[in-house]
Structure 1
Amino acid sequence: MGAGAQMGEATGCGGRGGPTCGAAQDTLSGILNVDKPRGMTSHDVVNAVRKIAGTRRVGHAGTLDPMATGVLLVCVGQATRIAEYLMNSRKTYVAEVAFGQTTTTYDADGDVVEERPVAHLTAEALQAALATFVGPIRQRAPAFSAVKQAGEPLYRRARRGESVEPPVRDVHIFRAAMVRWEPPVATVEVECSPGTYIRSLAHDWGQLVGAGAHLKSLRRVASGRFSVEDAVPLARLQEAAADGDWARFLIPMDEALLDMPALILTDEQAEALGHGRPVDAGAGADGQVARGYTLAGDFVALVCYNAAAGRWLPVKVFGGR
């Protein structure tokens, strides 16, 4: 569950992999807002969608731990090429934090490391301590996490009993509020940058108040503009697939990028972008990324304005024009 710009703030004309042209468009492309069930890994959900869609061209845009539920954006077909923009959006969570116990994994799935009394804790003291995490902070990832060192996830080394020194990251907590205190469990709502570990937040919060804590449950209720209220449970998606009707849950990929400005292209400009050539389609802010549409309304490219050249450069070009 790294800090980055929001989708509407995307800048920079490099683009991972540079200008690319899509081949013929997949029969079905789009985004699925899946309500991930507890106990499944994010990759388990991807594999399930691969079976449903009949293609291996499926990926997710932001890992959820197995114990977590809620919004998991799954990209199908050409939508896999915009996953990086989905990953850069803010995330919102509802979490239950249990005080009085620390665990090896910082959540309820780990072994208990230490137990401490919680009788001294009050709602006021907990909220005051939680407020100190709001803003830009330095956060250490859990030892049991998918963060890689030397090309290997930390959790594999931790499971082997090796000494692990997780990296410290710059993350941003935009909002953190305790909405319920039923000792020893606090329920909190957190809005944060991508790459923020709510497990680490729970652990650090417990250390700050001197009682220790771990994450009891976690639900991602929003990822960018996508809300859990609009998410489809995986079981329902599988039922729809059995009826041959799963594609109705696909969201057009440009709907995920509506915070970016739209640029209307002539057929000649769309063709030029498809061949990796920049186009003159009006001015923009230097480094600004925009959605490119044909006069017929087809979403065909992501483009980036280069002020020095006075041109829009292709970042992602999609097939099927």
Structure 2
Amino acid sequence: MRGFQNRLRLLFLFVFLFALLLAGRLYLIQIVSGENFEAKAEQQYVAGVNYFDRGLIYFAAKDGSLVPAASIKTGFILHINPKILSRRDDLEAIYEIINAIAPIDKEDFLTKAGKKDDYYEELARRLPIEVAEKIQALKISGLSVARERWRVYPGGTIAAHTVGLIGYSGDELAGRYGLERFYESVLKRNGDDAFVNFFAEIFSNIKKAASAGESLEGDIVTTIEPSVEAFLESEIEKVTGKYSSDFTGGIVINPRTGEIYAMALTPTFDPNFPQRERDPAVFSNRLVEDRYEMGSILKALTLAVGIDSNAITARTTYNDPGCVQPIAQHRRRFCSLPRGKLEL
């Protein structure tokens, strides 16, 4: 009898845990990921519209707060069903109504609306929610809006070469430069996640947890400090203006940890508008992608080693006689003038 009761309690425990698991999953779907799934559901009714999702990239401010460097923005696509609209004889009146809310090209609208065998044509993209609500309120059959999401870079040119950008290669939209490319496996999202069977996903997650080599999805938090980055970029601009250099760059590094607080170079670009650039070479980060002879860079590295090992400090002094006297040859420093005792 006692054994039967124990088995019954075990069964009840199993049912309770299973119900708890279902409730937790329901909470994640409806509350945590509700907006994402809602957007995906809307896209299923619109041909040719792809749902977009991607991990975020942050700068780290010195007060500990995170500043978005690459994020996702939501807007709306204004689209029509020409197969429905083409049956109407008041297309010009409809155009005037739409144009008063969201300015569009009249000839383009009439051409697209007249395609009798077409089910989907876009009139405008990235509309704000206020405009989308006004369009929906018109309740014109064959006219609608659909939610869309796209990549934005709130800082514009700030650390553009470090953050990088995304772009198309054929039909694939992925990171093409900077951190966007290097951490593509972390930032990319699988658009089919919403349609995975619940039970299959449970075992899939167990498999991922057990597989150490499985790539992880998430966001990227950099050590770039926005105010330091902005200061470095302004100084780089001054150097470029003074010497009319084709390329000027600089990096601010914590010598004790190796953390990079700023990395800037000119010419720069705005990753929100890559189409404005005529030369694609501007997107490359020449500070980390090009090769350079060591030369005088060894001076900075030597100082960094000295600071790291506590052998020297910023107040350490040295004597500059203006020249070096090897055994068989007299070499002068670049300006040949003795400068005496100097601080590092």
TM-score class, shorter: under 0.3
Larger gyration radius, structure 1 or structure 2: 2
User: Could you tell me the TM-score, scaled by structure 2's length?
Assistant: 0.25
User: Could you tell me the TM-score, scaled by structure 1's length?
Assistant: 0.26
- Structure in which a larger fraction of residues adopt helix: 2
